[in-house]
Amino acid sequence: MSTVVVEPSSLHGVMRFPSSKSQGDVSGLVFPLIASLMTPSDILIEGVNQDEWQEDKIVLEYVKAMGARIEVAGHCLHIVGPQQLHGIEMNIDTAVDALPLLAVLGTYATGTTTLSNASGCRSKESDRLFTMARALSSMGADVVEQSDGLILTKSKLHGAVVSSRDDQRVAMALTVAGLIAKGKTVVQHTECVKKSFPLFFSSLAALGARIGEFCR
């Protein structure tokens, strides 16, 4: 079982984002982007091809609606954090893969964040509504699981032992949660990340994320 230990971190530097064509059908662009909005950060993401953003375009619009300031210049994104964000309601029907990460963001944003029309998330690699509600609750989040979504209220997260349930998007989202949680967060079953974003942990570590990976 592959496990990572994550501690609160600041992110700085340049990340060269690989083409989504080289990493399957899952784009990882939003993970460093949203992580930088919630942490002391100053990062530049290079090599962003807007034609390959897929549903990440929708996520970017939601994040901007929450008050995020993201500088876009050609194929580069520049983000400085932490930023003050406010909760909104999001229709997740066309962005089901983003729900785990948006749930983490919902614990950070002021007020209430509602992720709705997300029943499709129950039939992904894991039941993402149940998995994220359980994991974030164990980290101290105020989260309510509904039949087709999640309601999250700004919370102070603390470290805990959480499981991805072999869902790569959940594993990456909980790693990002660990960057803003007090203390150490242990994310279990993270080997699944290799099939979609094999350089995820090393890419974040190169930006300064305090991540330790081990197998047992």
Residues catalogued as catalytic: 97
DSSP class per residue in the chain: -EEEEEE---EEEEEEPPPGGGSTT---THHHHHHHHHSSEEEEEE---GGG-TTHHHHHHHHHHTT---EEETTEEEEEE----B--EEE-TT-GGGHHHHHHHHHHSBSEEEEES-GGGGGSSS-HHHHHHHHHHHTT-EEEEETTEEEEE----B--EEE-TT-HHHHHHHHHHHHHSBS-EEEE--GGGGGT-TTHHHHHHHTT-EEEEEE-
Judge residue 78's burial from the number of C-beta atoms within 10 Å of its C-beta, 0-12 exposed, 13-18 middle, 19 or more buried.
Answer: middle
Residue written as token pair 């994320």: 209
Q: Give residue 98's Cα distance to chain centre.
A: 8
| Token pair of 69 as six digits | 């300031």
